[in-house]
């Protein structure tokens, strides 16, 4: 009976100890941004790449300003 109670608590503890994936997400973005920019540059030219970079910079700035 005691084992049954501890087995029920384990999923909750595992959910509470979920890893922080921010670093992984940032690395994924940094690795993928160059080929995305390069592909856009090849297909549409430099202007859309600069617009996308400006948009991403604006969104990062908005995230920094958020309380």
What is the pLDDT, as a whole number, of residue 39?
Answer: 95
Q: Name the residue with higher pLDDT: 66 or 27.
A: 27
Q: Which of 39, 58, 62 is nearest to 49 (CA)?
A: 39
* Alpha helices (runs of H) in 1-67, residue ranges in sequence order: 2-16, 22-44, 46-65
Q: What is the pLDDT of residues 44-62, one digit of tens each?
A: 999 999 999 999 999 989 9
Q: What is the DSSP letter of 67?
A: -
Q: What is the pLDDT of residues 17-33, one digit of tens each?
A: 778 888 898 899 899 99
Q: Write the CB contacts of 37 (distance below 8 Å, at least 6 apart in sequence).
A: 49, 52, 53
11-22 burial code (b ≥16 CB/10 A, e <16): eeeeeeeeeeee
What is the pLDDT, as a whole number, of residue 19?
Answer: 81
């Amino acid at each position: 009976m005691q084992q049954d109670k501890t087995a029920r608590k384990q999923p909750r503890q595992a959910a509470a100890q979920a890893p922080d994936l921010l670093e992984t997400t940032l690395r994924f973005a940094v690795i993928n941004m160059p080929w995305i920019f390069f592909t856009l540059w090849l297909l549409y030219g430099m202007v859309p790449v600069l617009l996308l970079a400006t948009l991403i910079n604006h969104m990062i700035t908005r995230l920094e300003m958020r309380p």
